[in-house]
Structure 1
Amino acid sequence: MKYKRLLISIFLVLFLINLGGGLFASSTKVKITFMSTKGEINQQLEEVFKNFSKDYPNITVELIPVGAGQSPFEKLSTMYASGNAPTIAMIDPNDVEKFKDNFLDLSNEKWTKDALKGVLDDVTFEGKVYAFPFALEGYGLIYNKQLIEKAVGKFDPNTIRTRFSLERLFKNLEAKKVTPVVISPLDWSLGAHFITIAYATQSRDYGAVKKFIADLRAGKVDLVNNKVFNDLLDTFDMLRKYNYLKDSPLAGTYEQGAQLLAQDKVAFWFMGNWAWPLIEEVNPKNRDYGFVPVPLDNNPNNFFNRSIVALPTKMLCIDTKNNSKEQQEAAKTLLNWFVYNENGQKNWVYGLNIIAPFSNVKITPNDPLAKSIVEYAKAGRTFKIPYAILPSDHWPIIGAYMQKYLAGRMDRKQLLTEIMNYWTKAK
Structure 2
Amino acid sequence: MSSSTSSETQLLAEHFGYPPVSLLDDIINSINILAEQALNSVERGLLAAKPASLGFRAPPPPSKKTKHNATTTAAAEDAPQPSPEEAQRHEVENGTHQLETLLCASIDRNFDIFEIWVMRNILTVRPDDRDWIRLSHYEGLDFSAASKRRKAAGTEPGHDGAMDTEGAEGEKEPTNQPGAGGEDGNPDAAETGSDAPTLASVARLRRRLQASQKLNVMLHAERARNAKLLEELREFLHGASGPAAVKVETGESQNQTNLAFLRSKGDLTVGDAETPLTTTTAFSLSQLQALRALSTSLRTMMPDLVQSTSGADQSDTKKSWRTERLEYVEGSTRRHLENVRGLELGASGYVRDGEWQGEGRSLAKGEVEGLERIAGVLGAKPNNGVRKPETGTADAMDES
TM-score range, shorter chain: under 0.3
The structure with higher relative contact order (CA 8 Å, sep 6+) is 1
TM-score normalised by the chain length of structure 1: 0.14
**Larger Rg over CA atoms:** 2
TM-score normalised by the chain length of structure 2: 0.15
Per residue, is there more strand in 1 or in 2? 1
